[in-house]
Amino acid sequence: MVRGHRLFALLLAGVLVIALTACNPNQLKKDRAQVPRFVYSVTSDPKTFNEVLSEEIPNVFTLISEGLVTQNGLTGDLEPALAESWEISQDNLKIVFTLRTGLQWSDGEPLTADDFVFTYNDIIFNPDIPTSTRDVLRIGDEGLLPEITKLDNRRIQFTVPEPFAPFLRTAGSISPMPKHVLAESIRQKDPEGKPLFLSIWDSSANPQSVICNGPYQLSRYVPGQRVIFQRNPYYWRKDQQGHPQPYIEQIVWEIVENSDASMAQFRSGSLDAVGVSPTNFQLLKREEDRGNFTIFEGGPAFGVTFITFNLNRGRRNGKPLVDPIKSRWFNDVKFRQAIAYGLDRDTLLNNIYRGIGEPQHSPVSVQSPYYLSPEEGLKTYDYNPDKSKQLLAEAGFRYTASGQLVDAEGNPVRFVLTAPAGSVTGEAIISQIKGDLEKIGFRVDVQTISFSALVDKLNNTLDWECIIIGFSGGIEPNAAANLWKPEGRLHMFNLAAQPGQTPLEGREVYAWEAEIGNLYVQAARELDDEKRKAIYAQAQQLTQEYLPVIFLINPLSMAAVRNRVKGVQYTALGSVLWNVYELEIGHS
């Protein structure tokens, strides 16, 4: 599906996140010698094998699916994928894609225009199916969706109600779903009246039943241990000599939440790649030659890490989502600004990130042409505890004789910071945040939980106070429309009830919140890049003024890869595997 913004566990070192292998390392080495295999690891089990329902990174779909176009990991340019070409009408309201000849699904069945029409009309545009993809395809003030029609078996026409600048990067990157396998699951309902589609490819499904179109297909999944991907024999790519791609027979995920163990496994030779964090960079650099691996540095990482407070003032079944006392604090912009001034990002950068990175101030990736820098006027919050205390006083907070911060009614200011477990660097960051805020009188209780449990809080129960999390980035800011539009499925700081959930009473949307969403609509309809940048600049300024999220540090994107893996072209945008189809396993 759309290669847009998704949630990811805190402090992934690049897109590759490597973790503990749960199998016998000697067996892995033996198997690797027999079958060309690339082994890395991830922080958690796959949550779903249904791409339409996926909202997290890491996920299996970067390996098993492909859209009409793809993004070159080196340049960021769009290139043909399932579509061999496309044409845009003079008025920018019609886009016709021509599919490659002979496309097939992983079960050998033909992949045609019918699959794309089915994917859009029956799945993505289906109100009974909760998907964030729908959010980033909404166009104009009314949030209209494009129309898709089949011209013939190889040609698909999209019609948009008004010019939509992000169309190629957004709709073009959406991968189709197999109509011949899934059509019946849309028509059939479960006892609750929901389409069977919602459960047909959940993580308990037989991986081999998942029909896909990417370079790999799912072969085996052992929960808590590993996912094995097998080369898709029906994948369309061939090299210049006519040899089928990809060359590597198997890709293996090893699953664990402990980054220390992943590093130990990489150093022992059991893994082919590991994300490099500032805390382990020096150690790995010393071992680079002896360990027969290379550390790649791709510049500032795409994506952002931030803390955010639950601003939702709604109620569910009459019960407030957030304690009303705390909700008053969180919804006071001076409270959030005081938090921002109270975080010592320079110390965070120097002590935990070892100086390898820079403070983050914007929701837009630094490499994007639409990024507004502090030098261009973006508001920043440099460490200033005195300013924090001043803002708190203006908001009616005061200090007791013991230095405890209390509100105007004398309630001690204390909240729970929830974070994904398993990252040593993440734990260090959380510790400093807690310490920084305690210096200005806050009491912070830290709760670490699995990433899947954290996502459940964000998307379903809405039972949280403050969360630290990451959000993937990219060149096109509109890919984050599902975060910034008030009705978006990833509008986590003030999420609306989603289809199928118990309704909320009393949820309110701030004027600034609505304006940010409106600016994303305006920017999407603007085709002039300079004007688009000016609109996104307004959105970034509002984000920094009202601080629905408080940004932390943007580290460098780095990964260590065994020298036996040939053809790596590492970048922050593409990471290690963006050109997986042309990677080879050779000798170190």
Tell me: do 333 and 463 sit in the same domain.
yes
CA of 540: how far to CAs of 376, 389, 512, 547, in Å? 11, 25, 12, 10
Q: Exposed, middle or buried by CB within 10 Å (0-12, 13-18, 19+), for 187?
A: exposed
Domain with residue 510: its CATH number is 3.10.105.10
Pairing, β 37-42 against β 250-255: parallel
Domain with residue 107: its CATH number is 3.90.76.10
Tell me: do 44 and 152 sit in the same domain.
no
Question: Where is the domain boundary, 177, 201, 227?
Answer: 177
Question: What is the rounded (10 degree) CA torsion for 240, 244, 250, 253?
Answer: 70
- Residue 1 domain flag: no
Tell me: do 332 and 190 sit in the same domain.
no
Structural domains in the chain (count):
3
Residues 6+ apart with CB under 8 A from 328: 407
Tell me: do 424 and 481 sit in the same domain.
yes
Tell me: do 473 and 446 sit in the same domain.
yes
- Residue 26 domain flag: yes
- Residue 74 domain flag: no
Tell me: do 308 and 376 sit in the same domain.
yes
- Residue 72 domain flag: no
Domain encompassing residue 49: 7-66+183-301+556-585
pLDDT digits (tens, 9 = 90+) for 468-494: 998 888 899 998 999 999 999 899 999
Task: Enumerate residue ranges in the chain where pLDDT < 50.
Answer: 1-4, 9-28
Using alpha carbons only, what angle is made at residue 214 by residues 213 and 218, rounded to the nearest 5 degrees?
Answer: 90
What confidence score (pLDDT) does residue 450 get? 86
Question: Where is the domain boundary, 177, 194, 221?
Answer: 177
- Residue 223 domain flag: yes
CA distance 167 to 171: 5
Tell me: do 534 and 573 sit in the same domain.
no
Which DSSP category does 458 fall into? I
Question: Where is the domain boundary, 177, 206, 227?
Answer: 177
Tell me: do 516 and 578 sit in the same domain.
no
CA of 113: how far to CAs of 116, 156, 212, 262, in Å? 5, 6, 15, 43
- Residue 71 domain flag: no
Indicate the pTM of the whole model: 0.85
CA distance 71 to 77: 6
Tell me: do 117 and 39 sit in the same domain.
no
Say how many Å lie between the first and final Cα of the chain, rounded: 35
Which DSSP category does 374 fall into? G
Tell me: do 472 and 345 sit in the same domain.
yes
What confidence score (pLDDT) does residue 539 get? 98
pLDDT digits (tens, 9 = 90+) for 273-318: 999 988 889 999 999 999 999 999 999 998 889 999 999 999 999 9
Tell me: do 342 and 416 sit in the same domain.
yes
- Residue 91 domain flag: yes
Q: Is the dihedral of CA 185, 187, 188, 192 positive or negative?
A: positive
What confidence score (pLDDT) does residue 6 get? 53
- Residue 73 domain flag: no
Tell me: do 407 and 543 sit in the same domain.
yes
Q: Exposed, middle or buried by CB within 10 Å (0-12, 13-18, 19+), for 294?
A: middle
CA 130 to chain centre: 17
**CA proximity to 426, closest of 306, 574, 572, 330:** 306
CA of 133: how far to CAs of 83, 114, 288, 507, 541, in Å? 20, 19, 41, 23, 26
Domain with residue 293: its CATH number is 3.40.190.10
Q: How many CB atoms lie under 10 A from the CB of residue 317?
A: 8
Residue 565, classed as helix, strand or coil, is strand
